Structure 1
Amino acid sequence: MQDKPILQVENLVKKYGPGCSICADANDEVLEKNVCPHCRTVYACRSISFDVYPGEILGIVGESGSGKSTLMKCLYFDETVTSGEGYMTPYEAGMANVFEQSSQQKRLIRNTILGMVYQNPVLGLKMDFSSVGNIAEKLIAAGDRNVQRMETRSKVLLEHVHIPLSRMKDEPKKFSGGMQQRVQIAKALSNNPPILLLDEVTTGLDLSVQASVLDLIKTIQRELGISMIVVSHDLAVIRMLADRTIVMLNGKIIEQGLTDQILEDPQHAYTQQLVYSLI
């Protein structure tokens, strides 16, 4: 693992609502979980800071409503952060705060540096496009105009994620949930992104399908050396994939460390509860 992080996030805040003088500091004494009882502002992410290193898989775990999916949407620019800083070494040598860039520059970062796999494939795929068309769409967004090259790249990726080429012209709406997730992964990988974001990618899949999708993610990470952030409420997924893990609760990071360490010796009462419910 190299010394310099490929991604640094510092004090990321995302709130829904205007805030008020009472909840200005967004501290636990004032908020009910992560909501201000006075103005009803929701503090989805509260001063989130973390690093991701080249070739590392960072796990983010927490219950529903802990802020982990909001964090992913902020990183992929689906949501605008309220405040905070983010630096990616492949962009401006890690010197520019990506959250302050123009929408054009954010599109460039999305299309060349980041890949995203959503929990719901409908968010990541055009269900009426062919599988090849979905992959080509991401390549075109990054500036590729060579049809032959795009088709070749699409075939390689579909084979990589075990989609039969006999079905490459089929639309994802004709596929099972597991196959849709695999097409999403192929699309996310199309531009060789150095950072891949995976949000609850196995939720709702049968156990055998979950295992094959997780195996695929692990293989891709090993072969391509991509840095990944994997969000899940399932500790078994995190145990299998993540080198280090962040535990979120009510919009805050309450514990972080090596995955083994967190699962073997959890410090925070909430993490203990999570771990013991797994056992």
Structure 2
Amino acid sequence: MFEQPLLQVKNVTKKYGAGCQKCMSYCSTKLIKNYCSTCRTVYACRNVSFDLYTGEILGIVGESGSGKSTLMQCLYFDVEPSSGIMYFDHPGLKEKNLFHLSAQQKRLIRHKKFGMVYQNPIHGLKMHYSAISNIGEKLIAAGDRNVAKMESIGNMLLREVEIPVFRSKEKPLHFSGGMQQRVQIAKALSNNPPILFLDEITTGLDLSVQANVLDLIKNIQMEYGVSMIVVSHDLAVIRMLADRTLVMLDGEVIEEGLTDQILEDPQHLYTQQLVYSLI
């Protein structure tokens, strides 16, 4: 018996523009990269499909403008896709396309079942709230009202991500980039979500800080068993974290497979260039 995917994503497309007869067939040869010169529509994502399994880390790699961050925004309901299906293997939600749920239902899933760590912490944190208040904000949004419980969870998670408890009442505005990312991770984990989205979280960090953040993510995945989708333009990050990998270019998935397989035997010319850049 085959394992049921925790998350199924099918044919997700996000276009900016109305589209025309020339480009609506989604044929790559009719576009300039991901741009239609006739109607000026930009296809940020085109027919992206994948499965995510329980306890798995799925990597998505590609250059800037490849569509990977737009895809993550669609999955986390920050952006509404133009078309596509997302199924979540959870009681009461099976067989329902999450993209078609009400705004209230989407908010509940965001706060209770999904966690997000953005590339820029300013999108994931309230910089003028304290670190522990940021965690409390997500707990409140999910319906929690017990202040003592929220404070206990907040302090526990800050310790987990190696933020000193004596700094829990400080604002992330005064933290380093690496510390801000760790507060984001703690906030994302506050409701023990089964799925965590990580978007370019090492960009702009010093190499030593990058290594610490990646170690933290790996430890969290092993401890909590949370499934993750990790987006990066850096194949070295994907190599360290991901079990399977999708390679995106111009809004499309051009290659997918086990991460080791892609690293050892890349098939697409673009993937080959990425892999050879590591050598």
- TM-score of the superposition, structure 1-length normalised? 0.98
> 2:202 & 2:53 partners in 1: Cα distance?
24
Q: Deviations over 1:40-66 (max 9, x none)?
A: 100011000000000000000000000
Structure 1 SS opposite 2:30: coil
Match of 2:270 in 1: 270
Matched, 1:68 2:68: yes
Match of 2:163 in 1: 163
> 2:215 & 2:157 partners in 1: Cα distance?
16
1:277 alignment partner AA = S
> 1:49 & 1:22 partners in 2: Cα distance?
23
> 1:17 & 1:147 partners in 2: Cα distance?
46
Matched, 1:177 2:177: yes
Structure 1 SS opposite 2:29: coil
Match of 1:85 in 2: 85
Aligned positions, number: 278
Match of 2:197 in 1: 197
Shift, 1:90, TM fit:
2.2
Shift, 1:178, TM fit:
0.1
Q: Deviations over 1:89-145 (max 9, x none)?
A: 125242110000010000011011100000000000000000010000000000000
> 1:102 & 1:145 partners in 2: Cα distance?
24
Match of 1:125 in 2: 125
Structure 1 SS opposite 2:123: helix
Matched, 1:219 2:219: yes
Match of 2:101 in 1: 101
Q: Return closer, same or farther for 1:178/1:7 CA change in 2, 3 Å cut-off.
A: same
Match of 1:249 in 2: 249
> 2:40 & 2:72 partners in 1: Cα distance?
23
Match of 1:188 in 2: 188
> 1:88 & 1:175 partners in 2: Cα distance?
35
2:256 alignment partner AA = Q
Q: Deviations over 1:180-225 (max 9, x none)?
A: 0000000000000000000000000000000000000000000000
Unaligned runs of 5+ in 1: none
**Contact 1:57-1:241 at 8 Å conserved across structures:** yes
Shift, 1:28, TM fit:
1.2
1:151 alignment partner AA = E
> 1:91 & 1:245 partners in 2: Cα distance?
28
Q: Deviations over 1:52-95 (max 9, x none)?
A: 00000000000000000000000000000100100111252421
> 2:197 & 2:188 partners in 1: Cα distance?
9
1:120 alignment partner AA = N
1:24 alignment partner AA = M
Match of 2:148 in 1: 148
Structure 1 SS opposite 2:3: coil
Structure 2 SS opposite 1:85: strand
**Contact 1:59-1:231 at 8 Å conserved across structures:** yes
- TM-score of the superposition, structure 2-length normalised? 0.98
> 1:141 & 1:260 partners in 2: Cα distance?
39
**Contact 1:90-1:113 at 8 Å conserved across structures:** no
Match of 1:110 in 2: 110
